[in-house]
Structure 1
Amino acid sequence: MVKKQKSKKKVIKTFKEVRAEKTEVQYEYLVEKHIIKSNDARYAILDKYAHLSNNVYNQALYRFRQAFFKGKWLSYEKLDKSFKQSFNQKDCMLYRSMKSVHLAQQILKLVNQNMTSWNKARKAYLKAPQKFTGKPKIPKYKPKGGKNIVIVDNQTAKLRANGIVEIPVIDSLKLSYTQRNYKFTVESFLK
């Protein structure tokens, strides 16, 4: 009796099959809110970056609005390129002050998203003004000296095995990672 050998063909799986094999852990996003009070040592670091983020936001919005008033539309790529081309100019010092270009790029994406949303609302208003309570207004600048969000994603933050989230580009800021309401463990993200 001859045994049949299993074929060693490379099996190409569909996306649904691959997705079914993966656990929920590998597709969930982790969002955790940390409240840091003003008497905490980390507050000064985060406050500094929130001010820098505000300045980058206003500078990017200024460039976007000026281009729009001239009849041009800036994509995120063009906006980022304009900052990189003027890297040594005084107005671009804000871009460099974030220490990580990646942090600044997240703010540029936010500006682009805000302007794109406004533009879609403006076009919808022109087609059907009765659906709106008023004409959509162009995004405004943040108050001078104010604060803006600092967007930290998985390329900027590092999840350590001891339950610490480290953000090296923000002066090696460390936050403890809680597992209270989550179905997964730190080790599952490190594999």
Structure 2
Amino acid sequence: MQLVEQRIIKKSHQAWEQIDVMSFAAKNLWNAANYCIRQSFLYGHGVPSDNQMDKLMQPTQQYKALPAKVAQQVLRLLDKSWKGYFAAIALYKSDNTGFTGRPKIPGYKPKDGRCVLIFSEQSTSKKVFQDSGQIKLSNIDYCFDTHIEQSQYCQSRIVPKIDHYVLEIVYEVNEHELASQNTQNIAAIDLGIDNLMAMTSNVPGFQPVLVNGRPVKSINQFFNKKRATLQRRSQVITSQRIQHLTTKRNLKVKNYLHRASSYVIQLLKHLGVTKLVIGENPDWKRGVNIGGKNNQSFVSIPHGQLIDMLTYKGKEVGIEVIVREESYTSQSSFLDGDFIPEYGSKPKNWQPSGRRIFRGLYRTKAGRLCNADVNASYNILVKEFPHAFQTGNREVLVDPIRVNLSGFKAKSLTPF
């Protein structure tokens, strides 16, 4: 399994100027090569391979402005983009239900834009890595610190962001063997806003956990308010100050999601859980209509990024993460054992036994009150694993505990 170690490169960084010049040159190479491919494709001559494009572009000024190995990686990246386009077109013609429109051919990068730089092992100094344990990239007069071993190293990527670059050092680790034969201990997560994650499990004695999502909500609210003020004062959509504000917001949110996902995975490892089910609906943020304020809060939280973090961190410790369609889990009553239909196949006369009486509170058929997010989380679990709880063993809906991660460190876990 490949993981990434990141380094942020700001304008004050010693290597900024060289990286910026190379990234701009990579953009020029991308556009020049893409022009040739587009013309060949539009005039019916097919699409040249990356090897053919490499031979064609070698004499050009755009190719010579970069190290040969880096230029080759730019052309390979462009080739992958074209292959992805043809794969998407084939899928679109066979079944276009998963698309919002017809796929378009790879386009040009903006005139003042930048392009990703990829440095393979051949573009990284082996001698410097062996002597000092640092990353020395081709044509960049700077050595980057790293915590990984040379034997793990795969490649480095420099990715342009809003007002900075991110150095991604890709390395290989052994993937933990998944305990597929033991599926007794299962957990489930319902994603939300105020409660970022509502986690439940069929482990005996487990008390449901609500991971506080208000810090992320607060970060987004401050960002939206501050950005609106700056835009109103300057009468422009973006500026250097707005870009800096956006970067700070993104890093703060990402930091909190990392802490939250690390806490959850360490807790599940401590409990001996082997499978984690996460509820998600396709296109759940496109066209959402839950009110202006709720729309802004819900859409601004990168739940997809959180799912990715939980997935790869779970693999590291042998926990299989399953993303499950979660329709009707909030309406159904877990304690009453309601049947939970799949999306698009709800029976005509289907009715849940209980109902959510207001935000955060669910009332069952017998009049029992419970946390609505916890009820939904349990329903996600049994929707994927209907026999996770034995008959008559659903009386597990106890008061949840709320977890605040302000002082949590990734390697110091106090589960309860």
2:135 — aligned with what? Answer: 165
Distance 1:144 1:96 in 2: 19
SS of residue in 2 equivalent to 1:137: coil
Q: Is the 8 A contact 2:26 2:115 kept in 1?
A: yes
How many positions carry a matched residue from both structures?
149
Structure having the larger proportion of residues in helix: 1
Distance 1:51 1:38 in 2: 15
SS of residue in 2 equivalent to 1:35: strand
Matches within 5 A, 1:90-169: 92-98=60-66, 100-158=67-125, 159-167=129-137, 169=138
Match of 1:175 among 103, 128, 144: 144
Shift of 1:164: 1.2
Matches within 5 A, 1:37-76: 37-71=10-44, 72-76=46-50
Bigger mean CA offset, 131-140 vs 50-59: 131-140
**Residues 81-117 of structure 1 deviation map (CA, whole Å, 9 limit, x = unaligned):** 2113xx1xxxx1010011x111100000000000110
Distance 1:171 1:58 in 2: 23
Distance 1:68 1:76 in 2: 14
Shift of 1:30: 6.3
Cα RMSD (Å):
2.0
Structure 1: runs of 5+ lacking an equivalent: 1-27, 180-184
Distance 2:104 2:85 in 1: 7
Structure 2: runs of 5+ lacking an equivalent: 154-416
Q: Is the 8 A contact 1:95 1:101 kept in 2?
A: yes
Distance 1:66 1:31 in 2: 36
Shift of 1:189: 6.2
Higher relative contact order (CA 8 A, sep 6+): 1
Structure having the larger proportion of residues in strand: 2
**Residues 107-150 of structure 1 deviation map (CA, whole Å, 9 limit, x = unaligned):** 00000000110111112212223332210111111101211110
Q: Which amino acid aligns with 1:140?
A: G
Distance 1:31 1:154 in 2: 15
Tell whether 2:54 aligns with 1:83.
no
Which runs of structure 1 show a deviation greater than 4 angstroms over 4 or more consecutive aligned residues? Answer: none
Q: Which amino acid aligns with 1:94?
A: Q
Percent identical residues: 28
**Residues 35-79 of structure 1 deviation map (CA, whole Å, 9 limit, x = unaligned):** 111111211111111111111111111111111101112111121
SS of residue in 2 equivalent to 1:77: helix
Distance 1:29 1:172 in 2: 27
